[in-house]
Structure 1
Amino acid sequence: MRQVLWFRRDLRVEDSALLANASKNVLPIFIFDKNILKKLDKNDKRVTFIYKSVLELKKKLQGLNLDLAIFFDEPKNVFTNLKKDGFDEVLCSVDFDSYAKNRDEEIESILPIKRFIDSFILNPNSHLKKDNTPYKVFTPFYKSLNIITQSYNIEEYSFNKNLEKIEFDYSFIPTLEQMGFESQELPEFLSKDAIELLEEFRAKVNKYQEERDFFYIDASSKISVHLRFGLISPKQVFNYFKSFGSADCEFFIREIFWREFYNYILFHFPHSEFDNLNKLEIKWNENEEDFIKWCEGKTGVPIIDAAMIHLNNTGLMHNRLRMVVASFLTKNLFVDWKKGEEYFAKKLLDYEASSNVGSWQWSSSTGADAAPYFRVFNPYTQSQKFDKDGIFIKSVFKEFENIEPKLFHIENALQSNLFVEYPKAIVDIKLSRQRAIDKFKEAKNEQF
């Protein structure tokens, strides 16, 4: 049996389903997928991060007397050639977004595939309600997992020490430039491995629940990018914090299962990747200028603009800010959530289809366990509550250094300052909130 171990978003050797379930003669591979890469900007920071991570995976596999064959091609071409080379089957971690499913079906027509749940803890098909239908609300979903969430350890995969490297040309390593990308400077935290980040976070996890909503406080674990690309598994993260037996860790562990929940929703409701999960027919605002101003951080609302400019510059956005800017786009500007989701997909370093789609549908009141349609974040109230002194806003707008912070939290107050040029808000918060509520009422009435 000659097996291909297809690493994708599981770039690690610890707790690896592939290295645990492979038989003997193996060819570990990674494909820089042209179908994906051609849609990305040449300065996409994620490609630099993945590139470095793939090279690190190659070193770790070599330390296990294996290696990693690297390709820059479309997957179907790679596997057509591997079939000619006499390979029998492919082992891979499963993904549930539309591109991944279509890609794997295409490869399965070339070589048999064995799929494993490796990027998440749960098998979405194994946790249903008593009537065998999927949960749509997080709290009962989470409570149903007590046997898992209350355990102190989830068994991790063990490396099969009997694996042998198949003779192959492992020498090819394309450069970023050859693939059409430019090497990017990454945020400092991405130079650290996942365990280092967890150890740093452990020192502040007791304040996580209290401080996580404040835009200017460094309260997060910074682990989302590593989780997204599988440099650490969610089981490893779970076991790390459970090992301390601390109640302070429980709130953070619960957050891990929001990620599981959104993956679960995408699995059971695949149409939600592209359409309203609740199937509401909504007549969205199609004014492209409004959307572009949101993207560029030119809305005239300080916290919205600061968040979007920071995202565009760094690929990062605080979790509560994601909710605030999403609410502003979908409720105040009444722009289709799919446009915001697509923009985040292009910009976020930790972009993950299931979580991003789920979060956007939550904000727009169209998805699972969604915010009620009449819940509309007031961006001025949010900045007053979570950035009272304008620390985050001023970190983005250096020219606002001497501005009285209270002006950030009052609609159009910056226009009264003679020393700054800042546009008037493109929408009235109160009027636009009422418009959104009226339009949702109209859509719901038409549905029934």
Structure 2
Amino acid sequence: MKQILWFRRDLRIEDNAILSNAKDEVLPIFIFDKNILDKLPKDDKRVTFIYETVLSLKKQLKEKGLDLAIFYGKPKDIIKNLKDGFDEILCSCDFDDYAKNRDKQIEEFLPMKRFYDSFITHPNEHLKNDGTPYKVFTPYYKSMNMITTSSSIETYKFNESLKKIEFDYETIPSLEDMGFEKVELPEFLTKNVCILMEEFTSKLEEYQENRDFFFKDGTSKLSVHLRFGIVSPKQLFNYYRKYNYSEGFIRELFWREFYNYILYHFPYSQFDNFNGMSIKWNENEDDFIKWCEGNTGVPIIDAAMRHLNETGTMHNRLRMIVCSFLTKNLFIDWKKGEGYFALKLLDYECSSNVGSWQWGASTGADAAPYFRVFNPYTQSLKFDKDGIFIKSVIKDFESLSPRLFHIENGVQSNLFVDYPKSMVDISLSRKMAIDRFKEAKNV
């Protein structure tokens, strides 16, 4: 038996399904996918992070008597050139549209054995009594009570008997070869994932209280590592489950499960409104560009977007606020916002991003009701009263009284600050959005 072990979003040694289920002789590989990379800017932080992670994985595999062959190109071409002499490919599952089409092409050359270790449960394992999938999170979450209340979840064990196939493991494409430049990473991405997990332990007890305050350092900083599989969701569950106050964090892990579950059972929702609603969106490209650049005239929106553009990160509460503003106040299609986040977010994950955007736009599964429109000024007052986050991003505001941030066009009343007037009247645009949603629902 000769197998190709294709690492994709499982860049780890522990709790790795393909390293557990592989047999006999193996060729571990990683492919820097040209189809994906060609769409990214040359200074994309994710590419530097993945590159360094892949080199680290290679080192870890060598310590286990294996190695990692690293390629750059189109997966179809690479597998076609490798296929002779191999029986099958082992890999982890992916359910987004590109991944499914990619794997369909690969199976023309070699059979693929897929394993499910990027998530805790397979979407087919938890259905309603009538055999149909859940569409609402709470009953879905309750259906997994035996898992969520367990003390631990069984993880995969490394198969120590694997033999490395002789191959050219030393030829490694550089970032420059792939058209990218090495960039400086945020501090949290330079830390070992075990250190991040330990650091979050001290925040866990107050997680539920602090997680909405985007000026506080209250989140886990583990989403990027989870996205690329440096740590598995089962490992996180087992690590934090022993703490009595871990319920809030565990529930967030299962929101991630839920959005993947929705994408699996309703794949059309990646591109269309989950609820089938037909909406005539605002097509004004200038409005969208102002939102992207953080030039809307609303301090919390602009600070959030500028921070995203600079760092590739955005707090979950801020994601909800900027989503509501784009889809409800500007009435721009959620798919445009989702696409922009896909380009910018370090932790971009298709299922979670699509699910969250459809939630905020009131078009998705278990979504916010259409009449729920976040008031950005109320949100900034409640979660950043002293303007700590806003001032940290928009330096021109450092000397301003924070109360101006929470008043519509309040900053603009200061003659010494050059800041554009708010693009829309919050109350009027909210009313117009609700009327349009009512019309769409009744058509």
Q: When the two structures are superposed, what TM-score results if normalisation uses the length of structure 2?
A: 0.99
Name the counterpart of 1:176.
175
2:279 maps to amino acid? I
Partner in structure 2 of residue 193 of structure 1:
192
How many matched pairs? 443
In the other structure, the counterpart of 1:100 is: 99
Give the whole-Å Cα distance in 1 for the aligned partners of 2:83 and 2:226. Answer: 31
Residue of structure 2 aligned with 1:395, choices 392, 396, 399 = 392
Name the aligned partner's letter for residue 165 of structure 1.
K
Cα distance in structure 2, aligned partners of 1:239 and 1:416: 52
> How far apart are 1:251 and its partner, in Å?
1.0
In the alignment, what sits opposite 2:31?
A: 31
1:18-62 Cα deviation digits (max 9, x unpaired): 100001100000000101100111010000000000000000000
Structure 1 residue 236 and structure 2 residue 235: aligned? yes
Shift of 1:111: 0.2
Which residue of structure 2 lines up, in the alignment, with residue 216 of structure 1? 215
* Amino-acid identity (%): 72
1:139, 1:185 → 2: CA distance?
Answer: 40
Write the deviation string for residues 401-426 of structure 1: whole angstroms up to 9, x where unpaired.
11010000000011211211110000
> One-letter code of the match for 2:371?
F
State the alpha-carbon separation in 1 of the partners of residues 244 and 138 from structure 2.
19
Q: CA deviation at 1:204?
A: 1.1
In the alignment, the residues of structure 2 paired with residue 335 and residue 165 of structure 1 have an alpha-carbon distance, to the nearest angstrom, of 52
Paired residue secondary structure (2:220)? coil
Establish whether residue 345 from structure 1 lines up as the match of residue 339 from structure 2.
no
Partners of 2:217 and 2:104 in 1: CA distance: 42
Q: Which residue matches 2:333?
A: 336
- Structure-1 separation of matches of 2:33 and 2:398: 44
Which whole-Å deviations, capped at 9, do the CAs of 1:146-187 have from their partners, x for residues lacking one? 010000010000011110000111011111011000111100
What letter is aligned with 1:130?
Answer: N
**Aligned residue identity for 1:399:** D
Q: What is residue 120 of structure 1 aligned with on the other side?
A: 119
User: What SS does the aligned partner of 2:321 have?
Assistant: helix
Distance in 2 (CA, whole Å) between partners of 1:415 and 1:343 is 28
Q: Deviations over 1:178-200 (max 9, x none)?
A: 10001111000111121111100
Structure 1 Cα separation of the partners of residues 23 and 224 of structure 2:
30
Find the aligned partners of 1:399 and 1:293 in 2 and give their Cα distance.
18
1:441 aligns with 2:438: yes
Q: Deviation of residue 247 (structure 1)?
A: 2.4
Q: Which one of 302, 310, 313 corresponds to residue 310 of structure 2?
A: 313
CA distance in 2, matches of 1:193, 1:275: 38
| Alpha-carbon offset, residue 82 of structure 1 | 1.1
Q: Post-superposition shift, 1:83? A: 1.4
1:250 partnered with 2:252: no
Correspondence for 1:419 = 416
2:222 alignment partner AA: I
Q: Distance in 1 between matches of 2:440 and 2:397?
A: 41
Q: 1:162 — aligned with what?
A: 161
The AA in structure 2 aligned to 1:442 is E
Q: 3-state DSSP class of the match of 1:393?
A: helix
How much has 1:398 moved relative to structure 2? Answer: 1.1
Correspondence for 1:143: 142
* 2:361 corresponds to which of 344, 360, 364: 364
Name which of 321, 324, 328 aligns with 1:327: 324
State how 1:47-86 maps to structure 2 within 5 Å: 47-84=47-84, 86=85
CA distance in 1, matches of 2:116, 2:437: 38
* Alpha-carbon distance in 1 for matches of 2:192, 2:440: 47
Q: Distance in 2 between matches of 1:79 and 1:153?
A: 37
In 1: Cα distance, 2:137 partner to 2:217 partner: 26
1:2 maps to what in 2? 2
Q: Distance in 1 between matches of 2:16 and 2:411?
A: 53
- Please point out which of 296, 299, 308 is paired with 2:296: 299
Return the letter of the residue paired with 1:367: G
Aligned-partner Cα distance in 1 for 2:173–2:257: 34
Q: Which residue type is aligned with residue 154 of structure 1?
A: I
Supply the distance in 2 between the matched residues of 1:267 and 1:385 (Cα, whole angstroms).
Answer: 36
Could you tell me how far apart the structure 1 residues matched to 2:138 and 2:192 are?
Answer: 32
Query: Which blocks of at least 5 consecutive residues in structure 2 are unaligned?
Result: none
Runs of 4+ in 1 over 6 A off after TM superposition: none
User: What is residue 226 of structure 1 aligned with on the other side?
Assistant: 225
- State the 1:73 CA deviation: 1.0
Q: Distance in 2 between matches of 1:292 and 1:404?
A: 28
In structure 1, distance between residues paired with 2:107 and 2:117: 19
Work out the CA distance in 1 between the residues paired with 2:21 and 2:114: 10
Separation in 1, partners of 2:214, 2:400: 18
Q: Tell me how far apart the structure 2 counterparts of residues 362 and 209 of structure 1 sit (CA, whole Å).
A: 20
Partner of 1:263: 260
TM-fit CA distance, 1:237:
0.1
TM-score normalised by L of structure 1: 0.98
Q: Which residue of structure 1 lines up, in the alignment, with residue 352 of structure 2?
A: 355
| Residue of structure 1 equivalent to 2:202 | 203
Structure 1 spans left out of the alignment, 5+ residues: none
